[in-house]
Structure formats: structure tokens, C-alpha cells
Amino acid sequence: MSTARALPSIRQRLGRVLGGIALIWALGMTAGVGLLTHRMLDDLLDGALRESAEILYGLVAVADRDSDQADKGMLPAPPHHESLVWQLVDRHGRVLMRSHTAPEARLSERQDEGITDEALGLWHVFTLPMRDGRSVLHVAQREDTRQATMWLAMGAAVSLTLCLGLSAAWWLNRGLRRELQPLLDLSAEVATLEPLQPHTAGLSATRTELEPLVDAIDGLTDRLAQRVAHERALAAHAAHALRTPLAGLDAQLAVALKEAPAHLQPRLTQSREAAARLRRVVTALITLFRTGGELQWQDTSLSMLLQRLPLKDAQITFSGTDTVPCDPDLLSAALSNLLDNAVRHGAHLIHVHATQDGQHATVTLSDDGHGIPQDQRLRLQQALDAQGPQEGLGLGLTLADMVARTHGGRLHLLAEDATGSLRGATIELRWPVHGSPGSLAGTST
């Protein structure tokens, strides 16, 4: 049997697209914010460095008025942590004055105004020539301090951007699921829709976009119900029209069998048996179309039901659960056709086994007839599953499968008898019984 190819999921495809968009947006935002933050912080720190140099320049210039003979070295100040260090260097490279944590060697050889990275990459230095032209002021900041500050700011910006991106992706996915849920609910309603059952509730549309689809499905089910009702009525009328002629034919054959000579009696007997089989098929059709899809559930005794079925030339044995909930008329029609099929295919012993586990009822028929070859059995099962025409799929199997489907179940052609005692055909009827109306209350048949 071929395996159905999995169809693409709209939700998964849209989810991947939206997730990809959100991820690209998050990465783009991360890169953009990171680069922008790096540039802004770099400019900010450079500006702070320049401004500090200008302040120090002013202080030194003021002090220089009265301190041409001032001691060289550090200005008197209490020791403290310095984010910025400075040096006052003459044109010969001698450090005239410096801050507490500034190195004793000059920070930069630069003499004009500008920013440089000097001292083995440890310092970021801004140089400002003094007004007298005899010295320059170096104001510096440690490079590792600058990098730590920038990475801290970038990490905060990146973390915030990623959180926003992930939040957006989660929100988009949640919104997508929420918006697609009505479509999934509608699919579940369509899967359980029984348009042929009376008093079936119609579909409901919870979104404007679903209203045309719901209206189309409702129109389709209405047309389907009308067509099936018409076909059922036609078949029922045809079956009723055939019932009376068949009864008259059986009566005429019975009289002819009594009056005919001995050499004609076997043929008349075969004709009467064929007419009886045809009458049983017509009765089954009338019973099936009588229900109109509405079952008369009753707790039915299978042993008593089998005793009432007219069957010659075969022995029927029964085991298992005797009472099962079902429509006794329909199940009787199905079993009658299956038993008749078994006899026509050479069965002399037929075993019927029934089980019920609280959720499903199962009736299995096994015989000692010719059986069904495996390849043919698979083709017949495929035809039953597809409810399509298939060579060898007789009216008996079709009617039995229709009865099982009417009960909400299925008919299965099994490989062999579960007990292994009979090597002919094995057919299983299985249907759900939980929640079936009348399965708990009803008269035993």
C-alpha cells in the first residue's frame, strides 16, 4: 500500500519565514547598534580627553605666570585614582610636570595638536602645544580602560537588541499560532462532520476570511446529503419492488420442486437457493437504507442472532463475548451476507468470535474455505479502504463494509485466523461502542 506524501505545513513555512525575518532583523540591529555605539563612544571619549586637556592647559598656563622657577615634578595634590593622566613636556622631551600616575617617560613624541596611540599601545594620548611654544601638554587615557568601557556599552546594547529580537520572534510566532488556530479548529470540525447524520450541527466561522470556505463546505454537504438521500430512496424503492417478485419466484420454485421429476430437482434447488441469496441481499439493502444513517442501538446477543440466520451446508460455532451493542438488523444483514459468501467459497465450518474492550466491539468470522490469496486480499482491502470498485469485490463484502462504516467502524480482511485452526478467509468487523446511544439502555435481541 502506498504511503501518503506529507504535505507542506502553512504554519511551519510561515513560521520559518517570520523567524528568519526576525533573526535577520535582530542580527542587523545588533551589528548596526554595535558599530554605532563603538563610534559614538569613541568620539565621546576623545571629546572627554580633549576637554580634559584643555582644562589642564588652562590650569598650567595660569600657574606658569608665577612659577617660572617652580620645582619640576608633580603638582602638589593628595594621591587619588586618575582616569586621565597628563604630562608637561618641553621641546627636548624632558617631563617638566606630570600627574601622580603618569609615567616618568614622556607619553608621546608628538609636538602638534592631535590624538595618537603611543607607548606600546597602552595609552591613548591627546597632545596640545603650550602658548609659549617651549612645551607641550600630553593628556592620556589607558587603552584597556577605553576598550573595557566600549565593550561594556556594546554588550549592553547587543544584549538589549537580541532580547528585543527574540521577543519579537516569540511574539510573531505566538500571533501566528493564534491567527491560524481558527483554521485548525475548522479542519477538526470538517474531519468530524457527518453530513448524512440527522441534526448535524453546521460549521462555524470565527474569522471573516473563513466565511466563504464555511459557506462552500456547507453547500457541498447539503448537495451531498440530497444526492445520497435521493440514491437511497431510489435503491430502497428498487429493493421493495424486487421483494414481491422474489417472494413469488420462491413460491413458484417450491411448487415446481415438488412436482418436477427427479432429474430436474437439483437444478430447481440451485435456482431456489440463488433466489434465496438474492432475497437476502434485497433484505439487507432495505435494512441498510431504512436506517438513513440513524442506528437503532441495542445490546444484542450474537449467539441468538446467528441461530436466526438461514444457512445450510455449513456449521457455525461461536465464542467470546455474547452481548455487544449494535444495530441488530444491520449486523444481521452483514453477517448473513458474509456467511453466504463463505459457503459459496467452499466453507463447511465457520467460527464467529466476538470481543468488547469497553471502547470497541469486534466480530471476527473465520472459515475453512478456499481463502483469499494475499495479493488479492491486499487489492480488496485497498478497494474497501478507498470505497472504490475492484474486481472480485462482491456485493456481500460491500454491504458488510457499509454496515461497519454506518456503525462508525471498518471491515478488515485479515491474513489468517487468530487461533490458527482455520485456514480459509478471516474477516473482521470492528466499530466503536463508547458513548453510543442505547448501548447502555436497550432491549436484548
pLDDT tens readout for residues 384-435: 887 766 566 777 788 888 888 888 899 999 886 655 566 788 999 999 986 4
Asked if pLDDT for residue 437 goes beyond 60, the answer is: no
pLDDT at 5 (0 to 100): 58
pLDDT at 77 (0 to 100): 56
pLDDT at 440 (0 to 100): 34
| Contact criterion met (CB below 8 Å) for 340 and 275 | no
Q: What is the 3-state secondary structure (H, E, C) of 17-36?
A: HHHHHHHHHHHHHHHHHHHH
Whether the predicted model's global pTM rises above the 0.75 cut: no
Lowest-confidence segment of 70-79, 280-289, 373-382 by average pLDDT: 70-79
> How does pLDDT run across 240-260, given as a tens digit for each residue?
677 778 778 878 888 887 888
Which residues are registered as beta bridge partners of 220? none
Asked if pLDDT for residue 320 goes beyond 50, the answer is: yes
Which residues are registered as beta bridge partners of 315? 349
Q: Can you tell me the mean pLDDT for 360-364?
A: 93
Lowest-confidence segment of 54-63, 188-197, 219-228, 317-326 by average pLDDT: 54-63
Closest C-alpha to 327, from 192, 436, 193, 196: 436
Pairing of strands 315-320, 349-356: parallel
Q: Can you tell me the mean pLDDT for 56-70?
A: 56
> Phi and psi for 364 in degrees, rounded to 5?
-120, 130
Cell of 154: 556594546
Asked if pLDDT for residue 189 goes beyond 60, the answer is: yes
Lowest-confidence segment of 3-7, 223-227, 366-370 by average pLDDT: 3-7
Asked if pLDDT for residue 362 goes beyond 90, the answer is: yes
Structural domains of the chain sorted by starting position, each given as residue range(s) with its CATH number in brackets = 10-162 (no CATH), 195-294 (1.10.287), 295-445 (3.30.565.10)
Q: pLDDT: is 50 or 293 the higher one?
A: 50
Rank 46-50, 74-78, 189-193 by mean pLDDT and report only the highest: 189-193
Q: Can you tell me the mean pLDDT for 150-165?
A: 77
